[in-house]
Amino acid sequence: MNDFQFYSPTEFVFGKDAENDAGKYVRKHGGSKVLLHYGGGSAIRSGLLDRVKRSLEAAGLAYVELGGVKPNPRDTLVYEGIALCRREQVDFILAVGGGSVIDSSKAIAMGVPYDGDFWDFYTGKSPEAALPVATVLTIAAAGSEGSGDSVITKEEGGLKRGAGSDLIRPRFSILNPELTCTLPPYQTACGATDIMAHVFERYFTNTAEVEITDRLCEAVLLTMIHETPRVIAEPDNYQARANIMWAGTVAHTNIVGVGREQDWNSHGIEHELSALYDCAHGAGLAVIMPAWMEFVCKHDVMRFAQAAVRVWGCQMNFADPEQTAREGIRRFRQFLHSIGMPVNFAELGAKKEDIPALVEKFGLGDGRTGGFVKLSSADVATIYEIAAEASL
């Protein structure tokens, strides 16, 4: 096991009706003038936004609103949010929505106290200050409610890039599983895929003997395999929603990744797809991650065989462990298909002829990525090609 620091300062408030205490928690965490940031309308239609507003009013808090965050959130609204916060002297940002709304809130939070262009933080610069951010989560997926990351798309040129800092870890996150019952099955499945991908990015490592982290990863994956079909069949199943919601947070605070090297190449490769086609991140991962697994499997067949046995219930073939490893990957793809996820480029709405452009934007040039297997541009192109043609 490698040395590590684990920092997860977020206060998680989990359970039914928890959003009615949003105002109380903003006060507790020092806010007095709030930006209420939300998406394209689901929080309005469900009545959630009104409940949150009432809670802010009951706590005697002033607020301004900015809605309209799109999935794959854009820089243009971030600039608007920064100007609004400065004009209104906002000192606390409350995101009501999913990963996109939370990431947009985090970008605004870093941008407000910064003299330059907030995009600098998405091209390598570290912020020195940020407004406090908190969340009322409406979809179990990105894990942004407990992460120090934010992913924004630059409208001009369609560049999707990430920023990371402990300064943007949410002060508190309200997790009421009931709020996720209004999700369409497709969004539920995209979220489930993203949650599983966050675990797999950490599972495939070259660091030996981190059994505790392996076992935590497997627990989250087994939970997702059990609960996801249940919520697809019964969208109002509270217990299944609750398990998935907490799994989504646990999958990305990094508690299932500490003590070892991680990968994250599937995420980078996927981000080019959601930037180009504006598809859901989880759907892109459903196409990319099994393809990545097939490409890198030979690098450590025993690790893939371990996942196949412990997670997918395969029988170990001691004479041919690679057969076991590949059976595990096949079952992963089948599982994703069974919950309504795309299997290949055609089902995702991506085009094979765009592969050279995707690789170019990925931006490796003659270099290599880090991670489990260090990929070249040619490797990335091969992974896109496997994904393009994949079948069950």
Contact call for residue 180 and ligand NZQ (CB under 6 A): yes
Which span sits near ligand NZQ by CB under 6 A: 77-85, 120-128, 174-182, 335-343? 174-182
Contact call for residue 138 and ligand NZQ (CB under 6 A): yes
Contact call for residue 188 and ligand NZQ (CB under 6 A): no
- Smaller CB separation from Zn ion, 103 or 194: 194
Which span sits near ligand NZQ by CB under 6 A: 94-102, 127-135, 232-240, 316-324? 94-102
- Smaller CB separation from Zn ion, 187 or 324: 187
In the complex, minimum distance from the CB of residue 275 to Zn ion, in angstroms, rounded to a whole number: 14
In the complex, minimum distance from the CB of residue 377 to ligand NZQ, in angstroms, rounded to a whole number: 22
Among residues 23, 61, 85, 149, which is the contact residue for ligand NZQ, using CB under 6 A? 149
Longest dimension (CA), the chain: 68
- Smaller CB separation from ligand NZQ, 59 or 139: 139
The tokens describing 76, both together, are 């243009």
Contact call for residue 220 and ligand NZQ (CB under 6 A): no
Q: Which of 351, 311, 347 is nearest to 331 (CA)?
A: 311
- Smaller CB separation from Zn ion, 178 or 194: 194
Contact call for residue 176 and ligand NZQ (CB under 6 A): no
Among residues 27, 28, 32, 40, which is the contact residue for ligand NZQ, using CB under 6 A? 40
Contact call for residue 194 and Zn ion (CB under 5 A): yes
In the complex, minimum distance from the CB of residue 143 to ligand NZQ, in angstroms, rounded to a whole number: 5
Q: What is the 3-state secondary structure (H, E, C) of the chain?
A: CCCCCCCCCCEEEECCCHHHHHHHHHHHCCCCEEEEEECCCHHHHCCHHHHHHHHHHHCCCEEEEECCCCCCCEHHHHHHHHHHHHHHCCCEEEEEECHHHHHHHHHHHHHCCCCCCHHHHHCCCCCCCCCCEEEEECCCCCCHHHCCEEEEEECCCCEEEEEECHHHCCCEEEECHHHHHHCCHHHHHHHHHHHHHHHHHHHCCCCCCCHHHHHHHHHHHHHHHHHHHHHHHCCCCHHHHHHHHHHHHHCCCCCCCCCCCCCCHHHHHHHHHHHHHCCCHHHHHHHHHHHHHHHHHHHHHHHHHHHHHHCCCCCCCCCCHHHHHHHHHHHHHHHHHHCCCCCCHHHHCCCHHHHHHHHHHHCCCCCCCCCCCCCCHHHHHHHHHHHHHCCC
Find all residues with CB under 8 Å of 391, minimum gap 6, and list them.
343, 344
Contact call for residue 284 and ligand NZQ (CB under 6 A): no
Beta bridge partners of 35: 64, 93
Contact call for residue 288 and ligand NZQ (CB under 6 A): no
- Smaller CB separation from ligand NZQ, 139 or 387: 139
The tokens describing 295, both together, are 């490409």
Report the residue number whose CB is nearest to Zn ion. Answer: 194
Among residues 55, 104, 147, 223, which is the contact residue for ligand NZQ, using CB under 6 A? 147
Contact call for residue 327 and ligand NZQ (CB under 6 A): no
- Smaller CB separation from Zn ion, 18 or 195: 195
- Smaller CB separation from ligand NZQ, 139 or 297: 139
The amino acid at residue 222 is: L
Contact (Cβ atoms closer than 8 angstroms) between residue 119 and residue 154: yes
- Smaller CB separation from ligand NZQ, 179 or 390: 179
- Smaller CB separation from Zn ion, 55 or 100: 100
In the complex, minimum distance from the CB of residue 151 to ligand NZQ, in angstroms, rounded to a whole number: 4
Picked from Zn ion, ligand NZQ, none, the partner binding residue 98 (CB below 5 to 8 A depending on kind) is: ligand NZQ
Interface contacts to Zn ion, rule CB under 5 A: 194
Interface contacts to ligand NZQ, rule CB under 6 A: 39-43, 71-72, 97-101, 103, 138-139, 141-144, 147, 149-151, 179-180, 182-183, 187, 191, 194, 252, 267, 281-282
